[in-house]
Structure 1
């Protein structure tokens, strides 16, 4: 009887450890996605800002040249 309880306890512990490992992997994956998303957003802002500056310069040239 005790051997059976011990086996069940080990199985529960292994299940808990596996679930914990999967949750940690999911958390890290989500953090990586957030980081990649924020990096893409920063690059997009930088690109839009550069385009806006070029547009302003072009309008300036048209106006004064």
Structure 2
């Protein structure tokens, strides 16, 4: 999968439920604990661990931690 445009664009909600959604940008290690659906919460937690492991293996600096 590839982005067709690297700029974030505002989109209009498709339905009433979507209109209630408000993004809440958090640090990755905090975000996983705030997700309400267990499957998505587990996915986010595993993704955070995988990204950290790949960064470590490639010599990149660790992910930022919340103070």
TM-score (norm. length: structure 1): 0.35
| Greater radius of gyration (CA) | 1
Higher relative contact order (CA 8 A, sep 6+): 2
The alignment's TM-score, normalised by the length of structure 2, stands at 0.34
